[in-house]
Amino acid sequence: MTIAVRHTWFMVGRQLRNLMREPIWIALLLVQPMVWLLLYGQLFKRVTNLPGGGFGTSSYITFLAPAIVIMNSFFGATWSGMAMISDLDRDVLPRFLATPVSRISLVVSQIVRSALIAVVQGVIILVVSLALGVRVHTGLFGWVVILAAAALMNSAFAGLSQGIALLVRKEATMIAIANFIGLPLFFLSSTLISIRQVPHWMQIAAKFNPVNWGVIAARQVVLRGTEWGSVGLHLALLFGLSVATAAFATWTFRAYQRTI
């Protein structure tokens, strides 16, 4: 176990070092979340005035900010398998497999790297939100909850993305699948708009949508009247999903090993 943790740490270090060497990537990682926040924040500014309400606040940016943290984390996760495909394409994995490296660390490190980046981006979004006047109702602990929700959201889908990457092993297919999964789940959630404002069937669908679980948990701590039971439940659901998708990714890794 300690070996697996050490090796995961080495592998995460490798990926982050490589990432930090690409200035364009750092810029994109920092700017992209803010574009989401400012663009959507302005575009739908008046939406809180809709009859029927359900926003819990008259400030749309306050409603939106925690959900943007989740959304950003979710989309980042759907793409995280690309790094695995690049390692497969360049035969980095076979080289590692001829060493005593912990097999599970090769998969888990990809998920951890993806979740770490999501958390860093989450911090940036929250700091900018603070400057835009968003106040987290439950204070510092609320911040921690939002970042935890972002991390769990990310690992849940990063596990799925790694698994798909190991199954398809082709960039183009990976991109198609990421889009196919990403956009519907995003629009079937209450990220941009109060759940009370969407058609009934969408409300039902949202209940089973992991993206919405994350949005609910993160938003509850920002707005007044936080239901901690609901926050805990949705975080637990995301945790369960993370375990399941990590297991899926590990299983696909074994399948890949059999093809060498």
Out of 90, 135, 196, 207, which residue is the one contacting other proteins (CB under 8 A)?
90
Check binding of 260 to other proteins (CB under 8 A).
Answer: yes
What is the full DSSP assignment across the chain? -HHHHHHHHHHHHHHHHHHHT-HHHHHHHHHHHHHHHHHHHHHTGGGGGSTT---SSS-HHHHHHHHHHHHHHHHHHHTTHHHHHHHHHTTHHHHHHTTT--HHHHHHHHHHHHHHHHHHHHHHHHHHHHHTT---TTHHHHHHHHHHHHHHHHHHHHHHHHHHHHHH--HHHHHHHHHHHHHHHHHTSSSSS-GGGS-HHHHHHHHT-HHHHHHHHHHHTTSSS--HHHHHHHHHHHHHHHHHHHHHHHHHHHHHHHT-
Check binding of 97 to other proteins (CB under 8 A).
Answer: yes
- Judged by CB under 8 A, the stretch of 70-78, 89-97, 117-125, 215-223 that binds other proteins is 89-97
Tell me the number of residues near other proteins by CB under 8 A. 25
Residue 253's closest CA among 156, 166, 171?
A: 166
Check binding of 94 to other proteins (CB under 8 A).
Answer: yes
Place of tokens 């519907």: 184
Check binding of 254 to other proteins (CB under 8 A).
Answer: no
**Other beta carbons less than 10 A from residue 132's beta carbon:** 16
Out of 92, 119, 175, 237, which residue is the one contacting other proteins (CB under 8 A)?
92
Please, which of residues 106-125 interact with other proteins by CB under 8 A?
none
Q: Which is nearer to other proteins, 53 or 94 (CB)?
A: 94
Out of 100, 199, 225, 229, which residue is the one contacting other proteins (CB under 8 A)?
100
Q: Which is nearer to other proteins, 51 or 100 (CB)?
A: 100
Q: Which is nearer to other proteins, 47 or 92 (CB)?
A: 92
Please, which of residues 186-245 interact with other proteins by CB under 8 A?
none
Cβ neighbours of residue 107 closer than 8 Å, sequence gap 6 or more: 162, 246, 249, 250, 253
Please, which of residues 161-190 interact with other proteins by CB under 8 A?
169
- Judged by CB under 8 A, the stretch of 5-13, 69-77, 187-195, 233-241 that binds other proteins is 5-13
Query: At its nearest, how many Å lie between other proteins and the CB of residue 170?
Result: 10
- Judged by CB under 8 A, the stretch of 60-68, 73-81, 90-98, 214-222 that binds other proteins is 90-98
Q: Which is nearer to other proteins, 5 or 127 (CB)?
A: 5
Q: What angle do CA 31, 35, 36 make, to 5 degrees?
A: 120
Out of 4, 16, 56, 96, which residue is the one contacting other proteins (CB under 8 A)?
96
Check binding of 2 to other proteins (CB under 8 A).
Answer: no
**Interface residues with other proteins (CB under 8 A)?**
7, 10, 13-14, 17-18, 21-22, 88, 90-101, 169, 256, 259-260
